[in-house]
């Protein structure tokens, strides 16, 4: 028992009591209102924005907006009336016809359409010269395709061939348009340059000149069904402006 009251033990006990007292004064007492430990993987708290009166989400409109104005509004098509006015004078019959097409086909844009018409023109002219029926089939309506095939087969029966070089297109412009039911029709006037010569069985030139660039003006009409998922236009009529 005397060992408990050894001077060294008494000194250590006193020191321990002093340390506990200092820790208590620094750390304070737990009151039950302390924040829980921070968990970096826990989800952030979400405020409840529900309207407790009617069980619906609260809607806060932006300044000068009503709740009706918050309804989604259909965006205008990429073509737009302004673009139509650039290729056809406002108030003209062509302008009205193009806007009719735009009203049922919001993807219609005159300038990209003309680029496609120029490319199709070159492909069709060269496919006809080469007698490539397969290439023509995907670019022409059935009626025009039959006419082109008949001309190719008639040429082949005579033993004739065409030497043709496509030089380029100087100008392409939309000159007429119409919406017939769900079918949109757009007529394009194309000014092109070609070198063309037709040879007979013996290789003699019977038409054209293989060394001369010829100016050609064609009026072609393209069409597509606006209800179809197929975005491609096909040639439905041809006419020479000369």
pLDDT in tens, 199-219: 999 999 999 999 999 999 999
* Per-residue pLDDT at 176: 97
Output the DSSP codes for 135-196: HHHTTB-HHHHHHHHHHHHHHHHTT-EEEEEEEEEEEEEEEEEEEETTEEEEEEEEEEEEEE
pTM confidence score? 0.66
Find the largest Cα–Cα distance for the chain: 140
Domains in the chain (CATH in brackets) are 80-240 (3.10.450.240)
Q: What is the pLDDT of residues 60-117, one digit of tens each?
A: 232 333 333 333 333 334 446 788 998 999 999 999 999 999 999 988 999 999 999 9
- Asked if 98 and 89 count as a contact pair (C-beta separation under 8 A), the reply is no
> Mean pLDDT over residues 156-171, rounded?
96
Q: How far apart are the first and last CA of the chain?
A: 134
> Which residue has better confidence, 119 or 70?
119
């Amino acid at each position: 028992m005397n060992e408990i009251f050894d001077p060294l033990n008494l000194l250590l006990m006193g020191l321990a009591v002093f340390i506990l007292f200092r820790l208590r004064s620094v750390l304070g007492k737990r009151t039950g209102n302390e924040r829980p430990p921070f968990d970096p993987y826990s989800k952030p708290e979400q405020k409840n924005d529900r309207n407790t009166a009617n069980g619906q989400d609260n809607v806060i409109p932006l300044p000068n907006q009503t709740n009706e104005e918050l309804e989604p509004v259909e965006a205008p098509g990429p073509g737009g009336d302004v673009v139509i006015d650039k290729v056809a004078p406002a108030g003209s019959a062509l302008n009205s016809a193009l806007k009719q097409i735009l009203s049922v086909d919001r993807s219609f844009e005159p300038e990209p359409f003309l680029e496609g018409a120029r490319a199709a023109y070159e492909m069709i002219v060269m496919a006809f010269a080469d007698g490539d029926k397969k290439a023509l089939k995907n670019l022409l309506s059935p009626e025009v395709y039959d006419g082109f095939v008949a001309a190719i087969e008639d040429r082949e029966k005579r033993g004739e061939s065409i030497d043709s070089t496509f030089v380029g297109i100087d100008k392409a412009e939309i000159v007429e348009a119409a919406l017939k039911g769900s079918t949109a029709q757009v007529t394009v006037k194309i000014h092109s340059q070609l070198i063309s010569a037709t040879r007979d069985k013996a290789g003699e030139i019977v038409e054209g000149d293989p060394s001369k660039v010829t100016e050609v003006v064609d009026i072609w009409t393209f069409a597509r069904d606006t209800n179809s998922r197929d975005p491609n236009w096909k040639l439905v009529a041809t006419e020479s402006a000369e």
